[in-house]
Amino acid sequence: MILQPRDVGWIEVICGPMFSGKTEELIRRLKRASYARQSVQIFKPAIDDRYDESAIVSHSQISLPSVAVKNLDELRQALDPQVDVVGIDEVQFFDERVIDFCEELADGGRRVVVAGLDQDYRGQPFGPMPGLLSVAEYITKLMSICMRCGNPAHRSYRLSEDPQQVLVGTAQQYEARCRRCFTEGYPSQSAAASQPAESQRMEPRGRR
Is 166 annotated for ligand binding?
yes
- Identity of the amino acid at 157: Y
Is 178 annotated for ligand binding?
yes
* pLDDT greater than 50 at residue 122: yes
Is 73 annotated for ligand binding?
no
Q: Where are the domains of the chain?
A: 10-142, 152-193
Is 23 annotated for ligand binding?
yes
For domain 10-142, say whether CATH 1.10.287.130 is its number.
Answer: no
Instruction: Give the pLDDT of residue 208.
Output: 32
In this predicted model, what pLDDT tens digit does every residue of 137-175 receive, in sequence order? 999 999 999 999 999 999 999 887 655 555 555 556 889
Query: pLDDT above 70 covers what percent of the chain?
Result: 76
Measured between alpha carbons, how far is 168 from 53 in angstroms, rounded to an integer?
A: 13
Estimate to the nearest angstrom the gap between the alpha carbon of 198 and the chain centroid: 19
- Identity of the amino acid at 73: D
Instruction: Flag the least confident range among 2-16, 26-40, 107-121, 122-136.
Output: 2-16
Measured between alpha carbons, how far is 33 from 131 in angstroms, rounded to an integer?
A: 25
Is 25 annotated for ligand binding?
no
Q: According to CATH, what is the number of the domain 152-193?
A: 3.30.60.20
Measured between alpha carbons, how far is 147 from 171 in angstroms, rounded to an integer?
A: 10
* pLDDT greater than 50 at residue 191: no
96 is catalytic: no
* pLDDT greater than 70 at residue 52: no
Is 21 annotated for ligand binding?
yes
Instruction: Give the pLDDT of residue 9.
Output: 96
Instruction: Give the pLDDT of residue 164.
Output: 56
Which residue among 12, 24, 25, 90 is the active-site one? 90
Q: Mind giving me the DSSP string for the chain?
A: -----SSS-EEEEEEESTTSSHHHHHHHHHHHHHHTT--EEEEEETT--SS-SSSEE-TT--EE--EEESSHHHHHHH--TT-SEEEESSGGGS-THHHHHHHHHHHTT-EEEEEEESB-TTS-B-TTHHHHHHH-SEEEE--EE-TTT-SEE-EEEESS----S-----TTTEEEE-HHHHHHHSS-HHHHHTS------SS-----
pTM over 0.85: no
**b/e map 42-81, b = 16+ CB within 10 Å:** bbbbbebeeeeeebbbbbeeeebebbbbebbebbeeebee
Task: Residue 123: name the closest of 201, 197, 60 by CA.
Answer: 197
* pLDDT greater than 70 at residue 115: yes
Instruction: Give the pLDDT of residue 65.
Output: 87
Is 108 annotated for ligand binding?
no
Instruction: Give the pLDDT of residue 90.
Output: 94
